[in-house]
Structure 1
Amino acid sequence: MITKYLKKVFKAKSCKAHTFIDFTNLGNSELKGVRVGIEAYRRNVIVYRCVNLIAQSASHVPWIVSKNNRGSLEKIANHPVYNLLKKPNLEKAGADFFGEVIASKLLYGNAYILATLMNNRPREIYLLPANSTELVLERNSPVAYRYMSSSGERIYPISPIDRMSKVLHLKNYHPTNSYYGLSCLDAASLSIDLHSQATSWNSSLLRNGARSSGALIVKETNGYLSDEQFDRLHEQLTEKFTSSNNSGKPLLLEGGLDWQEMSINPKDMDFIEAKNSAAREIALAFGIPPQLLGINGDNTYSNMQEARLALWEETLIPLLDKLSDALGNWLSHWYQEEIIIDFDRDSISALTEKRENLWAKISNASFMTLNEKRSLVGLKPIDGGDRL
């Protein structure tokens, strides 16, 4: 009796436990780690669209160079600074250059503009790659910028007196780092991860003919298959059942075999809504109304005109204000004169209706003098315009 029991035990151990075939990842290549960071710009369509929408829209607004003349701004059309902003260098026009500056600031949280000098004045300005530029610190204080390239490294010192340098560092606010800015991609990293995973899952599901993952369970023959049976069954299922080429073909099972789904139904998981929700959060991190990205079901604004107006007032105008202030302060140092850099708000088509309403209210204001009205719209005073 004991002998029969031992034979039964050793016989069971000699059998390979092929009780089921796992098809959880069949037809689905292993998902690579989600490329959050700069790769997200190349791999994620929502990130790509957000960055391009902001950079292209803001960079095409014309610059205005002015001086303070007795309390009013006087525009200077042929100032060297205006020519520099319009044509930063021989390789880039103004719109292309500042589009790259804004994109770098969004993706890296930092943008570095280098000035090449002639007679101690900027002759050309270039954008240094943010991933190749860093601050040099001494005693926790920045003393220079280091730019590393294939030809070596270059150091651009920061003046210890006025803290000025040939490099203008533009950065986003960072709550824990006073030296570098926070990238929009960091704030949206979880949403980018979710959106990329949902996209990869949908793509994998389509490659597998929209079939759910599952397991083939052997119910008879004591729940075991020989090595030859296991390999033959696995090969047949892989060849006849997986991939989009076999979509719609029935699964023929032999006796004693049962198919058990091991994944949640795509309809139950609602991947489309998950993608849309993640896309809305990514757009929120960049300050873009999701309606402008064409996301279904998002109608926060009654029409596209209101959405575009919100984009300009809440995102693009503050961005251009910060950029123009930084450029004006930096270039004023090199030209040794007060230079006021602004952008032409009148050229922004999304603000036309609001601007017309403002002008109508100013024009109808009976308690203001003509020169006061002209001052509000940036015009010079005229003789006899101070009387009501």
Structure 2
Amino acid sequence: MGLLKSIFKARDKPQDRIAGSNYSFFFGGTTSGKPVNEHTVMQMTAVYSCVRILAEAVAGLPLHLYKYTSSGGKEKALNHPLYFLLHDEPNPEMSSFIFRETLMTHLLLWGNAYSQIIRNGKGEVIALYPLMPNKMVVDRDRNGRLFYLYQQSSEDAPTLGKDSQVYLYPSDVLHIPGLGFDGLVGYSPIAMAKNAVGLAMATEEYGAKFFANGAAPGGVLEHPGTIKDPQKVKESWNKAYQGSANSHRVAVLEEGMKYQPIGISPEQAQFLETRKFQINEIARIFRVPPHMVGDLEKSSFSNIEQQSLEFVKYTLDPWVIRWEQAISRSLLRPDEKKMYFSKFNVDGLLRGDYVSRMNGYATARQNGWMSANDIRELENLDRIPVELGGDLYLINGNMTKLADAGIFANKEGLEVKTE
């Protein structure tokens, strides 16, 4: 019974990302000694590339609001006010692409994406403004109801008012959580993999310092006697020979001094292999194929297309579903949820090469389940007028039912035997 109480108590009082993952971030410290947080990781090219790939992919997908028709089909809900917000302009300050790119970046780095919902007197959504995840706290009041507490700053939108802390109801927030432990608040992927990212940052800094030092390891100046001012000798040596600008200079040693290099070479330390592995490690965190971040070692013309299809299926689809369900849950009224739904169109990313598409269209056209206009819409071409047959569904005349073949034979005066 005590175990059940602890489980339900943990779920009844979710913590925001920063409070809930202090044990993981610990102010950004890692075993590699490099500070890791949502801002410093963007200086890593692999992290920046993965975040940009996923954020731009989700932002670039067509997003439509659909309505179920009486015939059981669906059509775009062009007259619904939410359609324009999702497809074109969620607020007067940004386009739909920028809005989704911003929230997706928050989701990938902080594990949560928040947006303030502005409604009119009818309860209709008229604007959406992004909120910074590191300023948001998710908690429950005394009655167990969720609420959002946002710490406002000068760069936030004026829609929040003038108070430093803004209390928001769940109906006022579009919240897209990532992977989490309680199903309510997501945890930062960067926090969960901080040591892997820290190691990548450390190897990158090591390489930069190595070449800044003239691509040579440190060393020791040996003197047969006693040096009166060793600091002066050290400064004189560094001034003359340290740095990439002074590399390959001829050193002049006096009074029997000898230079003894110390340290291990990058080859012995497997520097290049470590850097390459850490890039793949970061790509693994975000589930991005290595060839999309510039690692073509195990890619070829025969498998890149398949890897791209797997990227859509196993990487993008889970993020897209999070977006679609969060939009339906937070932006549609209860009576609208049975009539409307949002949908990202990923068909463009799943398309094959030109020859494969044309062969598929030919099969669909000849078997009567796609018209010329259906195909032209998928290829972003203008529709053929109805009077010219653009909406006709045709079938191959060589194929017919066996019963119809028998009827045709009887009309020709031939006897068809049936059992």
Normalised to the residue count of structure 1, the TM-score between the two structures is: 0.75
Selected match of 2:185 from 174, 180, 187: 180
Selected match of 2:140 from 128, 137, 140: 137
Selected match of 1:108 from 96, 107, 110: 110
Q: Does the CA-based 8 Å contact 1:121-1:334 persist in structure 2?
A: no
Q: Cα deviations across residues 154-178 of structure 1 (Å, max 9, x unaligned)? A: 11124xxxxxx2112111122x455
Change (3 A) 1:247 1:341: same
Q: Hey, what's the Cα distance between the residues in 2 that align with 1:57 and 1:231?
A: 56
Letter in structure 2 aligned against 1:110: N
Mapped pair 1:99 → 2:101: yes
Residue 335 of structure 1: how far off its partner (Å): 6.7
1:147-162 to structure 2, matched below 5 A, reads 147-150=150-153, 151=162, 152-158=164-170
Q: Does the CA-based 8 Å contact 1:64-1:75 persist in structure 2?
A: yes
Q: Does the CA-based 8 Å contact 2:312-2:349 persist in structure 1?
A: no
Q: Hey, what's the Cα distance between the residues in 1 that align with 2:301 and 2:320?
A: 24
Question: Any idea what SS the aligned residue of 1:173 has?
Answer: coil
1:154-303 to structure 2, matched below 5 A, reads 154-158=166-170, 165-174=171-180, 176-218=181-223, 220-221=224-225, 225-228=226-229, 230-254=230-254, 256-295=256-295, 297-299=297-299, 302-303=302-303
Q: Percent identity?
A: 25
Change (3 A) 1:232 1:166: closer
Q: Hey, what's the Cα distance between the residues in 1 that align with 2:351 and 2:188?
A: 28
Q: Does the CA-based 8 Å contact 1:120-1:334 persist in structure 2?
A: no
Q: Hey, what's the Cα distance between the residues in 2 that align with 1:46 and 1:252?
A: 43
1:15-34 to structure 2, matched below 5 A, reads 33-34=33-34
Normalised to the residue count of structure 2, the TM-score between the two structures is: 0.70
Question: Any idea what SS the aligned residue of 1:311 has?
Answer: helix
Q: Which runs of 5+ in 1 are unaligned?
A: 1-31, 159-164, 375-381
Q: Does the CA-based 8 Å contact 1:37-1:186 persist in structure 2?
A: yes
Residue 239 of structure 1: how far off its partner (Å): 1.8
Change (3 A) 1:157 1:349: closer
Aligned length: 334
Q: Does the CA-based 8 Å contact 2:290-2:296 persist in structure 1?
A: no
Q: Which residue of 1 aligns with 2:46?
A: 46
Change (3 A) 1:139 1:263: farther
Q: Does the CA-based 8 Å contact 2:81-2:125 persist in structure 1?
A: no
Q: Does the CA-based 8 Å contact 2:240-2:246 persist in structure 1?
A: yes
Letter in structure 2 aligned against 1:275: R
Question: Any idea what SS the aligned residue of 1:96 has?
Answer: helix
Q: Hey, what's the Cα distance between the residues in 2 that align with 1:268 and 1:254?
A: 32
Q: Does the CA-based 8 Å contact 1:292-1:304 persist in structure 2?
A: no
Q: Which runs of 5+ in 2 are unaligned?
A: 1-31, 154-161, 375-391, 402-419
Q: Compute the RMSD of aligned alpha carbons.
A: 3.3
Residue 144 of structure 1: how far off its partner (Å): 0.9
Q: Which residue of 2 aligns with 1:78?
A: 79
Selected match of 2:128 from 122, 125, 130: 125
Q: Which residue of 1 aligns with 2:322?
A: 322
Q: Hey, what's the Cα distance between the residues in 2 that align with 1:284 and 1:364?
A: 43
- The structure with higher relative contact order (CA 8 Å, sep 6+) is 1
Q: Hey, what's the Cα distance between the residues in 2 that align with 1:336 and 1:58?
A: 25
Change (3 A) 1:325 1:128: same
Q: Hey, what's the Cα distance between the residues in 1 that align with 2:300 and 2:196?
A: 20
Q: Hey, what's the Cα distance between the residues in 1 that align with 2:309 and 2:90?
A: 29
Question: Any idea what SS the aligned residue of 1:215 has?
Answer: strand
Q: Which residue of 1 aligns with 2:92?
A: 90
Q: Hey, what's the Cα distance between the residues in 2 that align with 1:312 and 1:323?
A: 15
Change (3 A) 1:290 1:300: farther
Residue 44 of structure 1: how far off its partner (Å): 1.0
Q: Cα deviations across residues 266-318 of structure 1 (Å, max 9, x unaligned)? A: 12223222111101110111111011111252427735433322221221122
Question: Any idea what SS the aligned residue of 1:259 has?
Answer: strand
Structure 1 runs (4+) deviating above 6 angstroms are 354-366
Q: Hey, what's the Cα distance between the residues in 2 that align with 1:357 and 1:188?
A: 44
Q: Hey, what's the Cα distance between the residues in 2 that align with 1:140 and 1:278?
A: 47
Q: Which residue of 2 aligns with 1:22?
A: none
Q: Hey, what's the Cα distance between the residues in 2 that align with 1:356 and 1:65?
A: 29
Q: Hey, what's the Cα distance between the residues in 2 that align with 1:125 and 1:335?
A: 21
Q: Hey, what's the Cα distance between the residues in 1 that align with 2:58 and 2:259?
A: 56
More strand by share: 1
Letter in structure 2 aligned against 1:240: A
Q: Hey, what's the Cα distance between the residues in 2 that align with 1:105 and 1:140?
A: 29
Q: Does the CA-based 8 Å contact 2:173-2:330 persist in structure 1?
A: no
Question: Any idea what SS the aligned residue of 1:227 has?
Answer: coil
Change (3 A) 1:136 1:307: same
Q: Hey, what's the Cα distance between the residues in 2 that align with 1:186 and 1:302?
A: 36
Change (3 A) 1:189 1:127: same
